[in-house]
Structure 1
């Protein structure tokens, strides 16, 4: 079914580039990505022997920054812009305790009831465990809060037996009523206080954050909500304007949940004929993708159609980079093939290979990061102290287009390509 990718025959050197970065499900201001790029880019440049200078953005448009690079004897100017949907993320995150537990129940039903959870487990255990983590933690927090509330309530209720409550004839019944009241008020009050305490310290555990992340796609069983469709249309206009500008390459980078947004965005542009034949080279870099978490759901017909269409397009080069060391991504899973939507005639994209964390990070660095799962999920956009052929900063600020850089790069042999999804219907 799969055929080897054939990048666009476009070996022009890149002097000017526009990069559009699509974050994952992230409620924070995009300045965090600028600071991460500044810090990690400087580290990578020092390790690899080139120069990067980050400057404030002076042109209109989305939030971003400029990068001036000196790599060898070539100077490259890249404008990096963040396609922001953090406001949608914030609005989707019900901050109350009851809203979060409601989201847990809806999400569990969406994945278990549809059978998607069991099919996802046939791909990679890591991201499925990551998806189960907030559910199990919420249940554990609830159980612990109720247990502490129960024992505290029993202790306080026992004190009621010593209360002087009127005549002997009515004292026993009054004490029972008082004890029951104290028990239930103590149980519920202490349990709620503990649950609220867990929520306030969620920046340590990421339970509420991850629960809302997974529930966002699950609430409509894989279909995009209207506000996200509207934002994708805005993103399409921004990237289309970039393709009409005087640059050598337009590069779209989608990280985590941003990868499937990038698929839909670019599929829309290709279908609408908004990728000029003689315009800049177009590249799509998907990093740490979790596409199956959405494409395996029953109503993800739109995304499955987008995967089907984009995988055979000659208008771009699509490179998918993951790593088995990233327990939050579907590492080396071809998102088109595992979703069961590759065309019968074969496909061109994506080229799937590993960032090989265990080889591209020094042993000391790997030991430091190995159990920091959420930090590793962002390693793709950070510096490697023993880089191989993957260097995020040379891709986004270097002298080669994405297609040219990986024109002769073979796919990883250990990639997963079997069709696993039980839902393969596509939008018309």
Structure 2
């Protein structure tokens, strides 16, 4: 089967940059993709729905003997995220620290360590860094207090001055090192995830419900060959929520003309699923695990510290469905195979860059190629099977024969 028309529905993670910056990155990476494979790929400018919650653009791609057109939807949530990051620094710090220690005492952090020690280190990192900065600020404030005391300043005044200096110095460090540490951003992410699990963010639930209705309408009306719902990072659990709620609205969703495929990449399901209160979320995972009309692929990479690897999104949550299980298909992605060797050693230590490689252009042809998933002629189900898909996309006759034999 060749795909001629594809509909991508992209669900972003907890990223405040939003539509403008994402589209610029997409357009740049699309050019790299075309150059890598020697194909022509063009994209339109973004258009935004009247309610402002969904933007989309269209992509035309031409290969050696194939042509595809893609509608690419970008589901927008950056307004919520930007509001979170606008909160006062001290509110963010106190809330995040309190939530982290609640997770420690509840045993959730220990479960993170058991499921993926790399992710556990990552989620603990901002709290360790915060402690180090607080110790440094306290040391400077204490030294100033001693100096003021030696100068004969009354005791209550030197203590008050030290407290003010501590607060000011720590605030300055948090604010002016944020572009390098991402500490406040990661703390805000912790707060949001916890509040989302505990259903304290009704505005998110209402928007997810609207996205679910949009998916139902698209499946009924689309002339696409396949609809691919892509959830990156925290968008992984948001996309499963959207799809599960859409199935509740229309149990025959996956039986309309377009094949419905869920692609979760760089996923971090346990940051929601490991909370005791997340019964509905685990029920949604169970429903998707047993839904034969939906294909679900979960792509993970050991090199990405922001995803859980290796992790089974179903069994890892203690969900048992026996022989009824048909999803997800777990795909291990080795970034070493898609990044040029001379770039890899530098690439591997840029953790946010590694995390975003899931949605960026490859440097080497490979079965996992986000832009081939978006623009290529091969359905996602066959795309991730390997050589045959790459051969069709590049026009490699010998490789295509090998793939056909497989």
Normalising by structure 2, report the TM-score.
0.89
Number of the residue aligned with 1:140: 132
SS in 2 for 1:338: helix
CA RMSD, Structure 1 to Structure 2 (Å):
2.0
1:12-411 matched pairs, under 5 angstroms: 13-57=2-46, 60=49, 62-93=54-85, 95-160=87-152, 178-201=153-176, 202-219=178-195, 221=197, 223=199, 225-243=201-219, 244-273=221-250, 275=253, 277-406=255-384
Q: Distance in 1 between matches of 2:47 and 2:123?
A: 40
SS in 1 for 2:228: strand
Q: Distance in 1 between matches of 2:353 and 2:261?
A: 26
The one-character-per-residue Cα deviations of 1:33-85 (angstroms, maximum 9, x if unpaired) are 11111111211221122221121145746213221111222111111111111
- Whether the 8 Å CA contact 2:17–2:78 is kept in 1: the answer is yes
* C-alpha displacement of 1:92: 3.1
Q: Distance in 2 between matches of 1:38 and 1:379?
A: 15
- Which structure shows the bigger proportion of residues in helix conformation? 2
- Whether the 8 Å CA contact 2:367–2:386 is kept in 1: the answer is no
- Call closer, same or farther: CA 1:345–1:380 in 2, change over 3 Å: same
Number of the residue aligned with 1:418: none
Higher relative contact order (CA 8 A, sep 6+): 1
Unaligned runs of 5+ in 1: 1-10, 161-177, 410-428
- Whether the 8 Å CA contact 2:306–2:355 is kept in 1: the answer is yes
Aligned residues: 381
Unaligned runs of 5+ in 2: 388-406
* C-alpha displacement of 1:378: 0.5
* C-alpha displacement of 1:151: 0.5
- Call closer, same or farther: CA 1:221–1:106 in 2, change over 3 Å: farther
- Call closer, same or farther: CA 1:310–1:300 in 2, change over 3 Å: same
- Whether the 8 Å CA contact 1:123–1:330 is kept in 2: the answer is yes
Normalising by structure 1, report the TM-score.
0.84
* C-alpha displacement of 1:184: 1.7
* C-alpha displacement of 1:314: 1.7
- Call closer, same or farther: CA 1:333–1:252 in 2, change over 3 Å: same
List, as ranges, runs of 4+ consecutive aligned residues in structure 1 with deviation greater than 3 Å.
57-61, 219-224, 406-409
SS in 1 for 2:247: helix
- Whether the 8 Å CA contact 1:220–1:299 is kept in 2: the answer is no
The one-character-per-residue Cα deviations of 1:86-142 (angstroms, maximum 9, x if unpaired) are 122223346323212222233213311221111111121111111001111112221
The one-character-per-residue Cα deviations of 1:348-384 (angstroms, maximum 9, x if unpaired) are 1111112201222122211121111111111111122
Q: Distance in 2 between matches of 1:239 and 1:219?
A: 25
- Call closer, same or farther: CA 1:220–1:49 in 2, change over 3 Å: closer
* C-alpha displacement of 1:317: 1.2
* C-alpha displacement of 1:255: 0.4
* C-alpha displacement of 1:408: 7.8
SS in 2 for 1:317: strand
SS in 1 for 2:381: helix
SS in 2 for 1:56: coil
- Whether the 8 Å CA contact 2:367–2:385 is kept in 1: the answer is no
- Call closer, same or farther: CA 1:59–1:24 in 2, change over 3 Å: closer
